[in-house]
Amino acid sequence: MDLKKLMKRFFVAIVSLMLLGCNGDEVLANTPSGRTLVVYYSFTGNVRAIVNSLGGKIEADVVEIEPAEEGLDYAANNYAIGSSLIAAIRNNPNDADSYPAIKDVAADVESYDNIIVATPLWWSQMAAPMQTFLFHNGAKMKDKNIALIVSSASSPIAATVADAKRLIPEGNFLEPNLWIKSSQVGNASALIDQWLNQIQFPTIMNNDTLSVRAGGYTFTAILEDNAAAQAFNEMCPLTVNMSELNGNEKYYYLDQSLPTQPSNPGTINAGDIMLYGSSCIVVFYKTFSTSYSYTKIGHITDVTNLAKALGTGSVSVTFGGDDTAISNIKADEVKDGNYYSIDGRVVSDPKHGIFIHNGKKILIK
């Protein structure tokens, strides 16, 4: 190989390494935190319903885009008005006059870290009024995390995604986009939950949490939203001596029965707290598949050190009732924009776990 070729290979290798480094940084920079704006447009109400559901799950300010001209029926006469608005933009996308006027939007886009754009699809493109908003504000969204929700009757959303990327050329787009067909709006809540999980977006957690202490370690469990979890929580604080079984679980028979709703989970995950029968509390510290049925009580969020804390024999475990609850209450009252850990410390760079932010419990997966 001649020297030129060798140099070229060397150069390519160095650039690849540099790019790998950049990608690594980008992954960190992309973890959504900070302030969130949801901006949406809706003509027939589907996107509005989606955004209402989303609004209960995340901390965000929400603004609606409204066309300046009221009362237009974009769908009448085989979508005549909607179609001509889209055609005008398509023919001349760089000219401000191609975009229909919208009312002033009361949001300072620059003050947000994350922007969720929720829009209907019109003739495969992004609905015209949302395009107007992004035409005027997209440049201000440089380096911000952008998440896209599109609703259509049936058309795939690729051209609408391309519109978003054209209008927000330097946005950090979070993948995947969320596509909700009009026939799926009734199921939007579940689709949004799944999507927020995929883009690792911090979500408000309404479930109760319970501390679990063993072997000098303290863990936090998220309780299920069911009668068994509620009844168990009411019995806490509770210290019990749990017995070892099968090298993967600790169990203890309570002296009272809890409400049951058993099902076979298929897989038991390390950290699962289950009710076997109506009175046997089980804490699992290994993941395996099972043919047994349980009523789920909760799940320990961070299982690092769980097996170590529980040890190989019987072990004393305390559910609930530690100092954490006190700091927790204090942090619950503080609405200063900081993220607090469950034990009340300020966390400058919240990554994974449960935090308290502006008085709400937030789960970052």
Ligand X SMILES: Cc1cc2nc3c(=O)[nH]c(=O)nc-3n(C[C@H](O)[C@H](O)[C@H](O)COP(=O)(O)O)c2cc1C
Residues that bind ligand X (CB under 6 A): 42-47, 74-75, 79, 82, 120-124, 151-155, 182
334 HSE (CA, 13 A, CB side): 18
Angstrom distance (rounded) from CA 209 to CA 300 = 9
CB of 182 to ligand X, least distance (A): 4
* CB-nearer residue toward ligand X: 167 or 303: 167
Closest C-alpha among 182, 188, 135, 179 to residue 158:
179
Which of 41/135 has CB closer to ligand X?
41
Edge-to-edge strands of the sheet including 339-341? 203-204, 360-364, 353-357, 339-341, 346-347
Work out how close the CB of 298 gets to ligand X at its nearest, in angstroms, rounded to a whole number: 37
3-state secondary structure of 361: strand
Name, in order, each residue with C-beta under 8 angstroms of 204's C-beta and a sequence gap of 6 or more: 56, 57, 58, 59, 360, 361, 362, 363
Structure-token pair, residue 153: 């009757």
Closest contact distance (angstroms) between CB of 287 and ligand X is 40
Cβ–Cβ < 8 Å for 282, 240 = no
C-beta closer to ligand X: residue 45 or 56: 45
Per the DSSP assignment, residues forming a β-bridge with 288 are: 268
Nearest distance from residue 86's CB to ligand X, in Å? 7
Which helix (H) or strand (E) is 117 found in, with range? strand 114-122
Q: Please list the residues that pair with 203 across neighbouring strands.
A: 363
Tokens of 349: 């760079």
> How buried is 169 (Cβ within 10 angstroms: 0-12 exposed, 13-18 middle, 19+ buried)?
exposed
Cα gap 125→119, rounded to integer Å: 10
Give dist(CA 228, CA 234) in Å, integer: 10
Residue nearest to ligand X (CB): 82
CB 219 within 8 A of CB 212: yes
Euclidean distance between the first and the last CA atom of the chain, given in angstroms as a whole number? 49
Q: In terms of CB distance, is 42 or 145 closer to ligand X?
A: 42
For ligand X, the closer of residues 47 and 214 by Cβ is 47
Least separation in angstroms between residue 94's CB and ligand X is 22
Element (H, E) at 257: none
Residue closer to ligand X by CB (options 42, 295) is 42
Query: Quick one: 52 or 207, whose CB is closer to ligand X?
Result: 52
Q: How far is the CB of 124 from ligand X (least distance, A)?
A: 5
**Please, which residue, 81 or 105, has the CB nearer to ligand X?**
81
CA distance 235 to 255: 11
User: Residue 179 Cβ, how far from ligand X at the closest point, in Å?
Assistant: 10
Least distance in angstroms from the C-beta of 130 to ligand X? 10
Phi, psi of 263 (to 5 degrees): -150, 160
Q: Distance of alpha carbon 334 from its chain centroid, rounded? A: 23
Question: Shortest distance, CB of residue 43 to ligand X, whole angstroms?
Answer: 4
